[in-house]
Structure 1
Amino acid sequence: DVFTAVWYNIKTYDNEKASFKSWIIAISKYKAIDYRKKLMKNSNIENINDYNITALNETEEYILAAENKDEIIKIIKELGKVDCEIFIRRYFLEESIENIARSLGLTRQAVDNRLWRGRKRLKEKMISKVKKERI
């Protein structure tokens, strides 16, 4: 679907607004959102946690996933009050960046930068945690 969308909409691409890579990523993101909305619309399940995820059926894998989720939430809380709020609103409540920026009195670019730095810190801390566990 993404490649078809790129093929049919290539004339709308503007290299002054974004790189080609970013443009394709944006198309992919919106295709995924559309797919998820379609899936949720055609389903009686109202909560994503109600889905039976076969990869997590094994008890050990499920426990590890829960521990990782708890660790991620702990790290997010360490980011600071504003960054923590931005992360929760963006990734848990799926609020748009524009709404977050408007409600916090920040620019969209400032919110994007805080998300980028937060993801970077999150990744560093998770890598550090994995390395410690291997020792």
Structure 2
Amino acid sequence: MGITEKNFIHKIKVKDPQAMDFLVNKYGRLLYTVIYKTLGSFNDKGILEECMNDVLLNIWENIEKYSGEYNIKLEGEERKFKNWICVIARYKSIDYYRKLVNEKRVLQFEECNEVSDFSIEESLILKEQKEELYNDINKMNDTDKKIFIMRYYLEQSIEDIAASLKLSKSSVYTRLSRGRSQLKSKYKESKEVYSDEKCIRAF
């Protein structure tokens, strides 16, 4: 049985990735609009896409918390579901906004300092951790590794990656989100890698 408006929520709950394709096709523009209202002022498409990544992953991982019916064709159900995913998009975009504003303040503060107290020892530690991060990416399965390299090192768009690898956009979003979540979990105790978004915009 295919994915329809009557069953796609159930299909997401049983972790059918095609159901996420359906969601992106039906509500992707709505979610992007919600995110853009908060983050559009940064004028950075990459930030918008990263936030969209996390919103879709959040929906995927928390769909059990949705208390509505599976069939959005029922009276009032589509509005209820749209409200639920829009709240997720709204709060996630606010999180991104706060993080970006704080990073901007830190950068401005650092630019005011004429002398850096970043020691040679700290620099070496950071270099080692970056190398470990690169090695972890190389250990990913072939498709995920290609996606990470194309996105974070070649800076290709989600659309271009999906077309090149013959994947759906939602599949690319999901793979990026899962990989970023795994890396973030592994390196969350590392202040240096966690803060180094020039190395990879996965944290």
TM-score by length of 2: 0.40
Work out the number of aligned pairs and report it: 96
Relative to 1, partners in 2 of residues 1:95 and 1:18: Cα closer, same or farther, differing over 3 Å? Answer: closer
- For residue 18 of structure 1, give the secondary structure of its aligned residue in structure 2: helix
SS of residue in 2 equivalent to 1:109: helix
Identify if the C-alpha distance between structure 1 residues 114 and 58 changes in structure 2 by more than 3 Å, giving closer, same or farther. same
1:86 equivalent in alignment to 2:147: yes
Equivalent residue in structure 1 for 2:188, among 109, 127, 135: 127
Extract structure 1 runs of 4+ deviating beyond 4 A.
54-57
Query: Any idea what SS the aligned residue of 2:155 has?
Result: coil
- Which of 29, 32, 40 is matched with 1:18 structurally? 32
Match of 1:46 in 2: none
State the distance in 1 between where 2:117 and 2:127 align: 10
Q: Go from structure 1 to structure 2 and tell me whether the alpha carbon gap of 1:72 and 1:23 turns closer, same or farther (over 3 Å shift).
A: farther
Distance 1:77 1:106, change over 3 A: same
When the two chains are superposed, the root-mean-square deviation of aligned CA atoms in Å is: 3.1
User: Which of 143, 153, 161 is residue 100 of structure 1 equivalent to?
Assistant: 161
Question: C-alpha offsets along residues 46-94 of structure 1, whole Å, 9 cap, x if unaligned?
Answer: xxxxxxxx76852112112211111111111122111011001100111
Within 5 Å, which residues of 2 pair with 1:44-123?
Answer: 57-123=118-184
Structure 1-normalised TM-score?
A: 0.58
Return the alpha-carbon distance in structure 1 between the equivalents of residues 152 and 174 of structure 2. 15
Once the two structures are superposed, what CA deviation does each residue of 1:109-133 show, in whole Å capped at 9, x if it has no partner?
1101100000011112223778xxx
Q: Could you say if the C-alpha distance between residues 67 and 123 of structure 1 is closer, same or farther in structure 2, counting changes exceeding 3 Å?
A: same
Q: Do the aligned partners of 1:97 and 1:112 also contact (CA within 8 Å) in 2? A: yes
Alignment of 1:3-14 (within 5 A): none
Residue identity over aligned pairs, in percent, reads 34
Q: Which runs of 5+ in 2 are unaligned?
A: 1-28, 48-114, 192-203
Contact kept in structure 2, 1:83 and 1:115, CA below 8 Å: yes
Gaps of 5+ in 1: 1-14, 34-53, 131-135
**Quick one: structure 1 residues 95 and 59, their matched pair in 2 at CA, closer, same or farther if it must change by over 3 Å?**
same
